A and B are shown apart, each in its own frame.
Chain A
Amino acid sequence: MESLPVSTVAATKSVESLNEVTVLFAGDSGDGMQLTGSQFTLATAFAQNDLATLPDFPAEIRAPAGTTYGVSGFQLHFGSVNVRTPGDEVDLLVAMNPAALKVNLERVRRGGAIIVNVNAFKPHSLKLAGYKDGNPLEEGELKDYRVFEVELSRMTEEALKGFGLDKKAVDRSKNMFALGLTLWLYSRPLKPAIAWLSKKFAKRPELVKANIHLLKKGYHFGETTEDFVVQYEVAPARLSPGTYRAIRGVEALALGLVAASSKSGLDLFYGSYPITPASDLLHHLSRYKNFGVKTFQAEDEIAAIGAAIGASFGGNLGVCATSGPGLTLKAESTGLAVMMELPVVIIGVQRGGPSTGLPTKTEQSDLLQAMYGRNGEAPLPVLSASTPGDCFYAAYEACMVAIRHMTPVILLADGYVANGAEPWRIPSSSELGGFDVNFAGKTNRKVDGKDVFLPYVRDPSTLARPWAKPGTPGLEHRLGGLEKQHETGDVSYDPENHEFMTNLRASKVERVGQFIERTEIYGHEEGDLLIVGWGSTDGVIKTAVDRLHNRGLKIGTIQLRYINPLPSDLGAILGRFNGYLVPEMNKGQLVRILRDRFLLPFTALNKIQGQPFKASEIIEAAINHCEEIN
């Protein structure tokens, strides 16, 4: 690890050990808070802590400076213990201006620390932030917190004198000072940030020099100033053995798709139309050209999935990703893939809705859309990803299911899991499950003494139809959206055949269930309450269950990878508990599916604020529930 900058006064500070810490960087959307947060994340990963992050930014790229609605934040929870959520309460808030303080103060725990850029607390900025009655730094409003007033802007200006940067460039660099200071405060290494800066500004050495200088200045300031008497350290987490990296969910999705392509031997064709927060997947995949990945930035959401379907027909791994309104636009084409029985993976990175809703905020409100949002009886497998690292395996599995069962698959992630980061044990490619693809090569029936290929003859165990690539002689066939006759695939309006085919398509999806692994229960295997979650609530529910365990309640939890079909052991598991709680970031969608299927009294716990659950909210609901049923 990089040796820390040497300072003679460092020894006079006391060092205190902490198990876990939550830090929140907040400032204007142009202040570089996402960047500061992600660099702190990398340093924290480097320090081998477990971590979880919550980037939280406005939909506007550069909202008017100084306003509360333009505040961008990056919350990071790290520790030597298991960290599964971005933290309920903030231990340290770094506020670059009054608006950032105003918006985020309620997240800081009483007694927590606040570092403010005191230079930004001027009458105009205070007014913009809505501090009508004066400066909160002077009014005693912050008496319950430990406030550190740091002259971030002034010290940045001074430090960069002589670097030849203009005023704007200097002002934009102050986040590096803040980063340096916080890295010192929590004994994080500077090395990852230095490496990143050197790469990022490789073509502008003056910026590399200036930023690294400022980063170190911030670090030294922490050491030398008398304001900070304590430096903290957080010991490495006891993660299971292996080689780790920090990974964002969207990055893991991209890697999962490339892995599926690589292991299956199918070329990946990715059709996409830019949409928040799914666009990053297009950005990542468009870099992987040397893996044969073809990315197609389409003219709209419909063309994106259309092209993916076309590529699948041609024998490729057709994939597309989108968010809320984009999933709606893809509905008709998804139905076509259901009818043609072609493999396509559709990734939905959910965000707040309806309509444009909250583009940069998280929600789980597209589950019912994924399940039922198509005309006609059009069932398909629906999977979900539970953590940033899990996105890799979820994407991989979605591809496998699509190909094995010849069906479109919807994989649901959300803004929180896609933008969040965590340490991820890197699997070796040989650990990944096998991925056999069998293209049809010859005729499969004898009709009137002639060998023919019928495109809808099915595999008796999965009910999947054969995948015949154009270019294969003798297997010429036509697919389409009209109802087809069993086996021949000819257009058929026969009443009995339609009912038969509708049931057959449903059975095919049900049979995906044969391949679903045994459901893992976290916490008690039987008892008072089973918390049933799906998707990104995984971490917060497990954290809640850990804490509830200490209170002597018999609570277990399961996180569903498959929502369609539901795992076949779910009924038996439900039978071992007295009550059920279903937390979701929506009005109650999984809970409807479960009630419908099992006719049991599931209790919904809903949060629709564009923010993930806090563990305390789950704990409270669980305790209330247990009291009611006892």
Chain B
Amino acid sequence: MPTLPPSRKPVRPPGRGPRRAGPPKARTSRKEYASDQDVRWCPGCGDYAILASVQRLMPQLGVKRENVVFVSGIGCSSRFPYYMNTYGMHSIHGRAPTMATGLKASRPDLDVWVVTGDGDALSIGGNHLIHLLRRNVNLQLLLFNNQIYGLTKGQFSPTSEIGKVTKSSPFGSITPPFNPISLSLGASASFVARTADRDTKHLTKVLKRAHTHPGSAFVEVYQNCNIYNDGAFFDFTERATKADRTVYLEHGKPMLFANGKRGVRLDGFKTSVFDIEGRDFSVNDAIVYDETSLELAGIVSRMSQRPDMPRPFGVFFCEERPTYEHLLWEQIAAITERQGQGDLDALLYAADTWTIQ
């Protein structure tokens, strides 16, 4: 009978050492960011994974919990703030960007997150979304795209594909879907990215980047609605197909997929796929992704509308430009500097006056 080796001091498992050197910091865990409310999404909903990822991510961001605000509209995804133990607002359908704009513009010290869905952001709230992005209010906007209306029990949404049979389109939907990435690029978003609920590692990575971006960070999250649109994104999320059907964008790196066996190249203004091992092209022909190019981002975003192309994930576009609240506060400061702090009595008297004894 084998005997146990003499006891030794436990060693760390191989791999990465402790994250930070220096004195241990007060540990904040996912639990700290979970509110006391029961989560009421359907079992199996993709929202759970996103919630867990966000709750895990929050302690890593170096923001005090009391300075975090989650703002949402209406829909399944918009219940999100109730489950976060931060400040939060569950507002009305489509209007979360408006409340978030007023909040961030008046309180730039806060870390504001907007959680919305495809119906909320792209249908009833479409106008607010594009203006939020245009203004470049410094916040993170997470669009949970499940290509369906879930909370109203299964109607086609502005991202549902043509021909989709739903309760409100029993003979197939006849309207073409929005491409949220192209739309946000068109609305002058300064940060545009896509990720998926089932790839929590990538999700976390993208959200972290979004958080560091000074400006409106638009993140489309493919999210599975297992009740009304189950498997809508399985091509891109399940092991059997994922490698062949997705391409991950990385700044400065060639657009390769299928475990590095295939690439995406530019043929004029169009993208096309080629085999690395093939005769005509080599790895050098693959697009070296440049996330600072609005033109390239536009072209690559359109791959999502072509069934013959892999679906791009990752950061499509990132540019730094002044935020709305920065310009607002800066203008106020400059004018106050020039005119002096306002004096109420002086303002009331700032007109031709006359006195009656």
Which of A242, A290, A306, A332 makes the CB contact (< 8 A) with B355? Answer: A242
Interface-facing stretch out of B63-71, B264-272, B306-314: B63-71
CB–CB B106/A290 < 8 A: no
Determine which of B66, B344, B348 lies in contact with A473 in the assembled complex, contact meaning CB atoms within 8 Å.
B66
Cα separation A427 to B97 with both chains bound (whole Å): 39
Residue of A192, A271, A476 near B86 (CB, 8 A) is A476
- The answer to the question of A202 belonging to the interface, with a C-beta cut-off of 8 Å to chain B, is no
Q: Which of B68, B335, B356 has the most CB of A within 10 A?
A: B356
Instruction: Name the B residues within 8 Å of A3 (CB-CB).
Output: none
Residues of A within 8 A of B110 (CB): 314, 470-471
A245-B349, A289-B336, A471-B109 as given contacts; A313 in contact with B355, CB under 8 Å: no
Which residue in chain B gives the minimum CB-CB distance to A474? Answer: B66
CB of B353 within 8 A of CB of A290, answer: no
Segment 65-90 of B: residues with Cβ below 8 Å from A:
65-69, 71, 74, 81-82, 84-90
Does A610 touch B at the CB level, under 8 Å?
A: no
Q: Total number of A-B contacts with CB less than 8 angstroms?
A: 208
Nearest first, the 3 closest Cβ-Cβ pairs linking A and B are A306-B98, A310-B102, A307-B102
Are A428 and B335 interface neighbours, CB within 8 A? no
In the complex, what residues of B have CB within 8 A of residue A437's CB? none
Is B92 a contact of A267 with CB atoms below 8 Å? no
Partner of B354, one of A243, A304, A480, A482: A243
Task: Please list 24 pairs of residues, one from A and one from B, whose beta carbons are closer than 8 Å in the complex, sorted by A's number.
Answer: A42-B352, A45-B352, A242-B355, A243-B354, A245-B354, A255-B348, A259-B344, A263-B344, A267-B106, A269-B105, A291-B344, A302-B128, A307-B102, A308-B102, A309-B98, A309-B102, A311-B103, A313-B99, A313-B103, A314-B102, A426-B353, A470-B69, A478-B81, A478-B84
Which B-chain residue is minimally distant from A339 (CB atoms)? B92
**B136 an interface residue at 8 Å Cβ cutoff?**
no
- How far is B106's CA from A46's CA once the two chains are assembled, in angstroms? 40
Binds B, one of A25-33, A293-301, A527-535, A583-591: A293-301
| Chain B residue with the shortest CB-CB distance to A432 | B344
* Residue pair B352, A310 in contact (C-beta under 8 Å): no
A475 within 8 A of B: yes
Tell me whether A481 and B90 are in contact in the complex, defined as CB-CB below 8 angstroms, given that A243-B349, A294-B332, A308-B102 are known contacts. Answer: yes
Among candidates B66, B84, B98, B336, residue contacting A298 with C-beta atoms closer than 8 Å: B98
Whether B342 sits at the interface, judged by CB under 8 Å, is yes
In the bound complex, CA of A332 to CA of B142 (Å): 24
In the bound complex, residues from chain A placing their C-beta under 8 Å from that of B347 are 255, 258, 288, 291
Cβ A479 vs Cβ B88 within 8 A: yes
Query: Of all chain B residues, which has the CB nearest A196?
Result: B352
Interface pair A310/B98, CB less than 8 Å apart: yes
Report the separation of the CA atoms of residues A473 and B92 in the bound assembly, to the nearest whole angstrom: 26
B331 interface residue, CB < 8 Å from A?
yes
- Pairwise interchain contact B87-A476, C-beta atoms closer than 8 A: yes
Any A CB within 8 A of the CB of B152 = no
A477 close to chain B: CB less than 8 A: yes
Type the 1/0 row for A224-242, where 1 means its CB is closer than 8 Å to any CB of B.
0000000000001001111
Cβ distance A92 to chain B, nearest Cβ, rounded Å: 23
Given contacts A289-B332, A290-B339, contact A491 B102 (CB under 8 A): no
Q: Does B284 contact A (CB under 8 A)?
A: no
Closest A residue, CB atoms, query B349: A426
Q: Judge if A315 is at the interface, Cβ distance under 8 Å.
A: yes
A398 interfacial contact with B, CB 8 Å: no
Docked pose: A246 CA to B351 CA in angstroms: 8
Q: Which residues of B (91-141) have their CB < 8 Å from a CB of A?
A: 91-92, 95, 97-107, 109-110, 127-128, 131
Known A242-B356, A480-B90: A292·B35 in contact at CB below 8 Å: no
Which of B67, B81, B99 sits near A306, CB closer than 8 Å? B99
B18 within 8 A of A: no
On whether the beta carbons of B102 and A269 are closer than 8 Å, the reply is yes
Cβ-closest chain B residue relative to A423:
B354
**Measured CA separation A446–B100 after assembly (Å):** 31
Contact assessment for A478 and B88 in the assembled complex, using a CB-CB cutoff below 8 Å: yes
Minimal Cβ-Cβ distance residue in A for B351: A245
Within 8 Å of chain A (Cβ to Cβ): is B259?
A: no
Query: A179 at interface (Cβ–Cβ under 8 A)?
Result: no
Q: With A and B bound together, what is the CA distance between A259 and B344 in angstroms?
A: 7
Chain B: minimal CB distance from A204 (Å): 23
Q: Are B345 and A296 closer than 8 Å at their CB atoms? A: no
- Asked if A470 contacts B340 (CB within 8 A), the reply is no
Contact with B along A422-434 (1 / 0, CB 8 A): 0000111100000
Chain B: CB-nearest residue to A335: B92
Chain A: CB-nearest residue to B334: A289
Cα–Cα distance between A541 and B14 once the two chains are bound (Å): 89
State whether A292 touches B88 (Cβ < 8 A): no
**In the complex, chain B residues whose CB is within 8 Å of the CB of A308:** 102
Q: Is the CB of A478 within 8 A of B99?
A: no
Is there contact, CB below 8 Å, between A471 and B348? no
Contact check, B356 vs A239: say whether CB atoms are below 8 A apart: yes
Measured in the bound complex, the distance between the Cα atoms of B347 and A262 in whole Å is: 11
Nearest Cβ on chain B to A249's Cβ, whole angstroms:
14
Contact A294 B353 (CB under 8 A): no
A279 interfacial by beta-carbon distance below 8 Å: no
Q: Which residues of B contact A340 (CB under 8 A)?
A: 89
Q: Which residues of B contact A46 (CB under 8 A)?
A: 352, 354
CA distance A252 to B71 in the complex (A): 35
Interface residue? A336 (CB, 8 A): yes
A310 touching B100 by the CB < 8 A rule?
yes
Chain B neighbourhood of A471, CB < 8 A: 66-67, 107, 109-110
- Which of B69, B128, B355 interacts with A303 by CB under 8 Å? B128
Besides A243-B355, A312-B102, A473-B65, 20 more A-B contacts (Cβ < 8 Å) are A239-B356, A241-B357, A242-B355, A245-B352, A271-B102, A289-B336, A291-B347, A296-B102, A296-B105, A303-B131, A304-B98, A306-B97, A306-B99, A307-B98, A313-B103, A315-B107, A473-B66, A474-B66, A480-B88, A481-B74
